[in-house]
Amino acid sequence: MTPETTLVQWLREARRVLVFCGAGISAESGIPTFRGAGGLWEGHRIEDVATPEGFARDPVLVWQFDAARQHALPTVSPNPAHEMLAAMERHYPAFLLVTQNVDDLHERAGSRDAIHLHGSLDEVRCTLCGRQRPLGSPPSLADVRRGVLPHCACGGLERPGVVWFGEMLNPTHLRSIEKFIETGWNDGPAFLVLVIGTSGVVGGDYGIHSLPAALGARVVEINPEETLLSSEVDLAVRAPAGALLGRVWPEVGSAEHPAAR
């Protein structure tokens, strides 16, 4: 059996599916990943544009970085990987999508309950009163360059709604993930974890793949490259996620899930 045919079989046998995504899933939509040649971190210093200290030092630089990403969103579209994950959410009796991505491509593909572990480019939060709101339209790049930044009704400076290095993850998100994993304690190999398009440099320690593995879940990596997590998975499918899922899922998802009969 090839890795791809094994994946098809495991997707058919699964009842509980947990997906953990990174930037690679949006690569085929034209959004650059963070690491590697041409990645976002090649042209930007993390400490300048993705830390609380960087924002305190130079909020204009941070807003320039994120406003550029916000303006790019309407120019890209979900790819088959986002679409197939939305279809999986409808198919499986128990399904949770956890993404490290701050783009909105999962929602635009139809996912309803994706957990955005690293926040979202669609939101802003007041640095004074803490009020969170949907961004609506992003600030113009010309305004941001001139130092005209989004402000809250209370007068406080707003910050992008993304999680920066050194910040805590949302505890409500962590509890939802824990609960989903714990509930699968008895599912054995019918518990399937798909780790898609992440290097594992940041999310590798979150436990999202390793806790289910300790319960007996099957863990699959979908990534054209080997990663820090590759040695911890049961199956590695070395392919771009959009092309692979666009091929594989229609073979599985056309059938009604046995648990629904």
Question: What part of residues 29-58 is at the interface with ligand OAD (CB under 6 A)?
Answer: 33-35, 39, 50
* Binds ligand OAD (CB under 6 A): choice among 11, 17, 27, 62: 27
Starting at the edge strand found earlier in the chain, the sheet holding 119-126 runs 132-134, 119-126, 158-162
82 contacts ligand OAD (rule: CB under 6 A):
no
Rounded-to-integer distance, Cα 136 and Cα 152, Å: 13
* Binds ligand OAD (CB under 6 A): choice among 7, 15, 24, 248: 24
Site map 114..143 versus ligand OAD, x via CB under 6 A: ----x-------------------------
* Binds ligand OAD (CB under 6 A): choice among 67, 73, 144, 163: 163
201 contacts ligand OAD (rule: CB under 6 A):
yes
Rounded-to-integer distance, Cα 219 and Cα 234, Å: 5
Nearer to ligand OAD, 113 or 225 (CB): 225
Helical ranges in 44-140 per DSSP H: 46-49, 52-57, 59-72, 80-91, 105-109
Report CA dihedral (131, 137, 142, 147) to the nearest 10 degrees.
Answer: -10
Q: Which of 82, 91, 118, 209 is catalytic?
A: 118
SS3 for 157-188 is EEEEEECCCCCCCCHHHHHHHHHHHHHCCCCH
Q: Is 257 a catalytic residue?
A: no
Residue 196 C-beta: closest distance to ligand OAD, Å = 6
SS3 (DSSP) at 23 = helix
Rounded-to-integer distance, Cα 91 and Cα 95, Å: 9
**Which residues of the shown chain bind ligand OAD in the complex (CB under 6 A)?**
22-25, 27-28, 33-35, 39, 50, 100, 118, 163, 165, 197-199, 201-203, 222-225, 227, 240-241
Report, as residue numbers or ranges, the catalytic residues. Answer: 118
